[in-house]
Amino acid sequence: MPSPIWISNSSGYFTPTIVLKSIELTTVSICKSITNLQFYTSHNVHLFLKYLILSVLLYVFINCPVNIAKLVVWRIYNARDATRITGELNLFFTHYFNLNCFCMTLYSFFDTDLEKLFLLNLKHTDKLNGTKYCEHYSALPNHFTAVGGDNVYSLNHLFKFSREFKSFVKRYSNYYMLNLVVFSCIYILPHSISTTVLAFITFSSVLDKIGTVFSIIVTAMLQMSDAYYTALFLTTFYGSCLLAEDLLIPYFNKVQFTNVEKLQWINTRKGVLFGIGLCYFLAVQKFPMIAMIIYSNALFNMGAIITKISSEIPKNSTKEMGRWAITESVWDGHEAFVKESYGLF
């Protein structure tokens, strides 16, 4: 007898094995990018210094208003209330309204060096494997960065002509709206209402990935713990998924899937992408003062990782690309991905 419609099985695309293997691949890629002396060219060292400076500027830009607000709070309130309020401010800007990933991805639309890092590792991987990912990728039309001119003109151009930019804005709008709902549930709404809303959000977030039974278990465990852990789980889960999609912007700006094909492409690789995004999201959260260095390293390593989860792009022929996009959008390489060894040596 078939299962009721509200009973779903766990996704074969999002298993603990796939996520753990993805984390292993990401960790190994980071280690290789740091230890490979071939990447220590004068140009790359210059980029490192550039992104180090940008990291510090971004940190100051985001944290200055927060620190000013904290000083005001300490002047207005007594020590006990000030400690509580500043703690809540820290939580709000760290988890609910963290601008690091948004600002870095927005900047990536205006910086061609980030895509060049992606291409550099893609080319290096081709040399090792005897493939032509980089050659065929580079032959495709480039819609990655904003056009010249002032920033307002460039933003208008991106809104009009860049599908990935519009998708990026929509993703982060939804993300921050969800975070505000979670924040409201914890700090504003009555406990009876907030508990129900948080349980529904948690359950619906993981249902299509781990199935009904495990979704109920995860939701129940979070409901029995402090609401802070539910907020931490949701913001980290969605933040990791968002960052993983951000790292694919160079790929999707060149390889023009239809919206349905792109959605299928991401869905069939969601376990792998979550593992990648989780590693870099936690790194950005832990080390915000070098956020741009972490982000640039993530884009660089995506040049190698993309070859593990996609097939070689055909030559720039409309007919060939059309056929390839249809088959490529549904990935069946999970078993091979899990079995492959990603050791350092």
Taking the C-alpha atoms of residue 96 and residue 177, their distance in angstroms, rounded to an integer, is: 9
- How many C-beta atoms surround the C-beta of residue 80 within 10 A? 8
pLDDT of residue 1: 38
Tens-place pLDDT, residues 70-116? 888 888 888 788 888 888 888 888 889 989 999 999 999 988 899 99
pTM to 2 decimals?
Answer: 0.91
As a whole number of angstroms, the longest Cα–Cα distance in the chain is 70
DSSP letter for each residue of 26-51: HHHHHHHHHH-GGG--HHHHHHHHHH
Taking the C-alpha atoms of residue 58 and residue 27, their distance in angstroms, rounded to an integer, is: 25
Tens-place pLDDT, residues 189-212? 888 888 899 999 999 998 888 888
Least-confidence region, from 258-267, 285-294, 309-318: 309-318
Least-confidence region, from 20-24, 141-145, 259-263, 333-337: 141-145
Least-confidence region, from 268-272, 293-297, 309-313: 309-313
All residues at 6 or more sequence positions from 246 whose CB lies less than 8 Å from its CB, including other chains = 101, 104, 105, 108, 168
Burial zone of 45 (CB within 10 Å; 0-12 exposed, 13-18 middle, 19+ buried): exposed
Among candidates 323, 281, 312, 288, which has minimal Cα distance to 26? Answer: 281
